C-alpha cells in the first residue's frame, strides 16, 4: 500500500473545503480528523497542518517568507523587503518575523528552498573562510 504524504492530505482537505458554507466546514474537518485517526496518522497532524497552510498559500499565489533579524524590523524595512520580493517573485508576500540574536546584524530570508543570508554573522564566516 502506498503511503499518503502530508501534502496529499492537505490537498484533499483543501479541495473538500472548496465551496462549503460555514455550517459544512466543521463537519468536513471532523470527517477529515476521523480519516487521520483511521489511517493512524493523527500523530503527523502538525506536518499536515503545515502542509495545508503551505498549500493554501500556493493556491492563493502567496509566498510566505521568514525574515530573521537581531531585533524587530521597522515598518519601512518590512515594506521594502515585501515590495522587493513581490517584484522579484511576482507573488503576494507574507512576512513571518523571527528574532535571532546570533546574526549580530543584517537579515536572513528564507522561502521555499531559498535562503538569502545577508547577516553580519554570515559575512564574518565568509571572511574567515577567505582568510584561511
Reply yes or no on whether the pLDDT at 1 is more than 80: no
- How many CA atoms lie within 13 Å of 2's alpha carbon, on the beta-carbon side? 4
Buried b (16+ CB within 10 A) or exposed e, 39-71: eebeebeeebeebbebbeebeeeebbbebbbbe
Question: pLDDT tens, 2-43?
Answer: 789 999 999 999 999 999 998 899 999 999 999 999 999 999
Per-residue model confidence (pLDDT) at position 97: 96
6/82 Cα distance (integer angstroms)? 29
Cell of residue 8, nine digits: 496529499
123/129 Cα distance (integer angstroms)? 10
42/36 Cα distance (integer angstroms)? 5
Question: What's the chain's average pLDDT?
Answer: 92
Cell of residue 112, nine digits: 521555499
pTM for the structure as a whole: 0.69
Sign of the alpha-carbon dihedral angle for 40, 46, 52, 58: negative
Per-residue model confidence (pLDDT) at position 123: 84
129/62 Cα distance (integer angstroms)? 37
Please report which confidence band the pLDDT of residue 128 belongs to, taking 50, 70 and 90 as the band edges: confident
Amino acid at each position: 500500500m502506498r503511503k499518503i504524504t502530508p501534502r496529499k492530505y492537505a490537498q484533499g482537505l483543501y479541495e473538500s473545503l472548496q465551496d462549503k458554507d460555514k455550517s459544512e466546514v466543521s463537519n468536513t474537518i471532523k470527517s477529515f480528523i476521523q480519516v487521520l485517526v483511521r489511517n493512524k496518522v493523527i500523530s503527523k497532524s502538525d506536518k499536515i497542518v503545515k502542509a495545508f497552510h503551505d498549500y493554501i498559500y500556493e493556491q492563493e499565489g502567496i509566498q510566505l517568507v521568514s525574515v530573521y533579524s537581531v531585533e524587530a524590523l521597522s515598518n519601512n524595512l518590512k515594506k521594502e523587503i515585501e515590495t522587493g520580493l513581490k517584484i522579484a517573485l511576482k507573488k503576494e508576500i507574507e512576512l513571518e518575523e523571527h528574532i535571532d540574536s546570533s546574526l549580530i546584524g543584517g537579515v536572513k530570508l528564507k522561502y521555499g528552498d531559498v535562503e538569502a543570508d545577508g547577516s553580519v554573522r554570515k559575512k564574518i564566516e565568509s571572511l574567515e573562510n577567505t582568510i584561511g
